[in-house]
Amino acid sequence: EEPRESTAPRVTLNVLSDGSLLLAGHATTVEELPRRLKKLREDEGPDVELRMRVDRKTEYSIVAPVLAECAASGIWNVAFSVLKPDAHP
């Protein structure tokens, strides 16, 4: 049986190796992230999918606080992908 495509709204969060974040194409910071994620969940609903695109050189110490903020904001549907070295968000 083919897996069903999710109908949940999807938003992309780019996490770059220098620690910069782009949520839905807009620059943000870890400090702003709780407010932005809360608004995202309110606007898109509790099943919103957050697709994290992470630069392969990004250290986990940069990703960990982002994941913690997702959990704290109630966003549970998080998927990962790795940015190709020549990709630009």
Predicted confidence (pLDDT) per residue in 22-32, tens digit: 999 999 998 99
Residues 6+ apart with CB under 8 A from 6: 49
46: helix, strand or coil: coil
pLDDT at 50: 94
Q: Report whether pLDDT(18) > 70.
A: yes
pLDDT band (50, 70, 90) for residue 84: low
Instruction: Give the model's pLDDT for residue 46.
Output: 87
How far from the centroid of its chain's Cα atoms is residue 38's Cα? 13
What average pLDDT score do residues 3-30 get?
Answer: 86
Q: Which residues contact 28 (CB under 8 A, 6 or more apart)?
A: 21, 22, 36
Rounded to two decimals, what is the model's pTM? Answer: 0.79
Query: What would the pLDDT profile of 30-75 be if each residue is shown by its tens digit?
Result: 899 999 999 999 999 989 999 999 988 888 999 999 999 999 999 9
Instruction: Give the whole-angstrom CA distance, residue 17 versus residue 60.
Output: 10
